Amino acid sequence: MFKKVNSPIFLAILGLGVVLFSVSVSMTAQPTDHFAATTCWLSAEQPKADNGSASSEAATFTGKIMKSGDKLVLEDTDSKTTYQLDDQNKAKSFVGKSVKVTGTLDVATNTIHIAEIEPVA
């Protein structure tokens, strides 16, 4: 039914196909943690700390505490960004109010680890 092929051209084309397939699979594989973190940092719009650097230290975020499903979030209307809040109890008394949240941002989850919340006058 099948004819045995030993043609050098056929083997070269077959080899090239295997190489191209391997390259395409490796390019669509999940990035390493280092690459993913770099990509996120480059593509995510991050709030700036007071010194102008990306928030890995304590920073101030302003917005309104709102309900999103069964969770409370901080909606920053200026940057059109919604942040998850790690301490729902601290945010509970500020629902619907404009606040200033001091804390650190976990960029991977877009979650603010709250140090302090205070109303904005």
pLDDT in tens, 93-110: 999 999 999 999 999 999
pTM over 0.75: no
Integer Rg of the chain from CA: 25
CB neighbours of residue 113 within 10 Å: 14
Average pLDDT, the chain: 76
Q: Which pLDDT belongs to residue 119?
A: 96
Q: How far is CA 25 from CA 15, 22, 32, 78, 87, in A?
A: 16, 5, 15, 41, 41
Note whether 51 and 44 are within 8 A (CB).
no
**Mean pLDDT confidence for 37-58:** 46
Report the percentage of the chain scoring pLDDT > 70. Answer: 56
Residue whose token pair is 């397939």: 21
Q: Which pLDDT belongs to residue 53?
A: 38
**Mean pLDDT confidence for 16-39:** 55
